[in-house]
Structures are given as structure tokens and as C-alpha cells.
Amino acid sequence: MFNLQGKVALVTGARRGMGRTHALALAAQGAKVVITDVDLNECELVADEVRAANGDVACFKLDVSNKTEVDNVFDEVVAKYGRLDILVNNAGIYESHPFLEMTEAEWDRTIDINLKGQFLCAQRAAREMAKNKWGRIINIASIASGGVGVGIGGGAHYTASKGGIIGMSETLAVELAPLGITVNVIGPGAIDTPMVGAANISKKAMDAMLAGVPLKRMGRPEEVSAAVVFLASDEASYVTGAGWLMFYAGITKVLNPEWSAAGFLVHAKTFSGFYQSLAQPAFLPYVNVLNEWGLTLIGASLILGISVRLSSILGALMMVLYYFPVLEFPYIPEHSYLVDEHIIYALAFLSLAALRAGSVWGMGGSISNLPMCARFPTLKKFLE
């Protein structure tokens, strides 16, 4: 499984941290690995590790924000190996700057490396991959890519760049699919890397962050690399346009089946952004057609004990009704709709009321004892 024999993989930002482990993991599965970074000396140290494990490796100095350097490196890779099959767009920086004090140069530097760099490398890689009708582009973003309620103080430029990566990747997945190229995103959470260490996160802030992580620890670079290897393999041939927000408790809070339906409703807005950025294939049939109002109805129907699948269908139906114009009269300036948001919110509140009644009548008393309710005392008191 995950046999990459004969494949040529290029990893940017590979001199340390996750880039290093991505290169080692790909080489361990038989890929010929091209290691690139701005520091060629440190790249050579990683290359020595690959060679020690009998891997095939090459090193190049590369500033991903410089198109001339990108073209030159890709030309050399193709000249050496005759092809390029896998690109891991890992290069990136994080330099904390308060928003009100951030300079244009500081903004541009982060956007150029983190976002423009991925664009330049992905574009050139796709042109090479298209020749063989096979390719894997894996873009590294961040849990702080937008849509899941995770912001970073002093990181407006960083989060903007990472959010752009997800948007770009979703579009590339559509455009490049006919060429046999898949494009996916990995958005790591708190991973123990030199870049995170250099951010000088206080112990108090780190403890607060890890308090919401089920495993109560930071992730290891090798754990992210395992996902990279999968996405680079033939086993992931039907996975494209997916954003894997890895190792973050927010996903658990939404999807953990032990949470009650009320918890789903409480986090409906989070889930709305979550499905847009995560876009896991397994969930697409159920959430792709839903918007804010459909999600509200899902929450309401779940509270009444309806299954996830059925409630998703109901949510989709409600969205269709909401957008379907049924009346067009000269004296009505806008279309009238069968259902508007007020009715949907009313359904949600009626569902809560029904749940409350069930508790009073002895049919739902155990709901208030669920773990989710302990986090929301007001809701627990309401349900008791």
C-alpha cells in the first residue's frame, strides 16, 4: 500500500519541520525526492538522511516567490528525472505583526512566499504532470485558514495567505481533474515544529489551546506526513478538492457522535465554515447543498431525534423551498418565497421547545447529562 516506486516528488521548504518529514516519508515509500529550500546547506543535511536510508534524492536552492528560480529548478528536475509526479507545496513563513502596525512590505512578504509561491510551483508542476496525465499536488495550509473560528493575533497576513491556498486549491482541483491531476490541502493544527517554536507562544496560551485538543498534546510532523503520503498515492486517486484540517479539536466538537443534536445546532455556524473548507468526500453528499438556513433546520431536526442523513435531506429540501420563487406580482418588487429564514428559525426554536417538553415529561431527561451540556450551563439548565 502507498507504493510510490518510480514517482518523482518535489517538496518545498524541506530543510526542517514538516517539510523534512514529508521528504523522508515519501522517500521511504520509494519516491525519488527533490528537496528545495532557501538554505541549501540545511537541505543537504536532510538529503543525507534520505541517502542513509538508500533513498534517491536531489537538492536545489529555491525561493518559491521568485518565478525565475521556480522555472530554473523545475527545468533541472525534469532534465534529471524526465518527469515530475508529486508536488508538496510546503514552504511558508510566519512572522507576527500586529495588524495596526503591519507594513505593506511585511504583508507582501508573507503573501508572496505562502500564497504566490504555491501558485508558481503548482502551475509549473501541473504543466509537467499533464504530459503524463498523472499528478498529485498537495498544498499545505493551516487550521487558521478561515471558516472554522480559529484566528491568530498578529497573523492577519498569515491567515489571509492560508485561506487563499484553500480557495485556490478548490479551483485547481476542478481545472486539473481532466488532466489526471488531483489537488488537495492539508491544514495542520498545532504541530511541534521549529516555526511554531519560533513564534514564542506563551505557556498560558499553549495550555489554553491544548485544553481543547482531545489528545492533550501537539501533533508531530510525522503524523502530517502520513497524510501527505496517502494523498500522493494511487489509493487517493478519487480524492481531490479536499481540505484536511488535521489534529484540531474543533472537528471533534462538531462530528463526535457523543455530542447531542443541540450541540450540533449550537455549532451550526462553525460547521457551515467547516464543510466549506474541509470538503471531505464522505460528507459532500450530505452537506454540499446546504447553506445557513438548511443547517439551522438540520440542527432542529437532529434535536427531534432524526438521523443525520434524513435531517440533511430535510435541510436541502428547505433550502430549495427557500430559493424557489412561487409568486411574482407587479406590486411585489421581489420574489416571494415559500419559506423564509424566520420560519426556519421558528422551527428551530419549536424543536428546542419540543426537546424541553420531552425532558419535562420524562422522555429526554438524560439529554442534559451529555458531555456537551457541561460546556453550556445555560443550555443544561434549560433542558433539566
Question: What are the catalytic residues?
Answer: 158
Strands of 57-61's sheet, edge to edge? 57-61, 32-37, 8-11, 86-89, 135-140, 181-188, 243-246
Residue 352's contacts (CB-CB under 8 Å, 6 or more residues apart) are 262, 265, 300, 303, 382
Whether 286 and 334 have beta carbons less than 8 Å apart is answered as: no
Strands 243-246 and 181-188, sheet pairing: parallel
Which residues on adjacent β-strands are paired with residue 37? 61
C-alpha cell at 215: 489528545
Phi-psi region for residue 219, left (φ > 0), alpha (ψ -120 to 50) or beta?
beta
Q: What are the φ/ψ torsions at residue 381 (nearest 5 degrees)?
A: -65, -40
CA 349/CA 300 separation, integer angstroms: 8
Long-range contacts of 227-230 (CB under 8 A, 24+ apart): 227/186, 228/22, 228/25, 228/26, 228/88, 228/138, 228/186, 229/2, 229/4, 229/25, 229/26, 229/29, 230/2
Residues whose CB falls within 8 Å of the CB of residue 2, separated by 6 or more in sequence, listed in order: 29, 229, 230, 232, 233, 235
> Which DSSP letter does residue 13 get?
S
Chain position carrying cell 455556524: 269
Cell numbers of 238, please?
478519487
**Long-range contacts made by residues 108-113, C-beta under 8 angstroms, separation at least 24?**
110/157, 110/158, 110/161, 111/157, 111/160, 111/161, 111/164, 112/65, 113/64, 113/65, 113/161
Q: Hey, CA dihedral for 327, 333, 335, 339, is it positive or negative?
A: negative
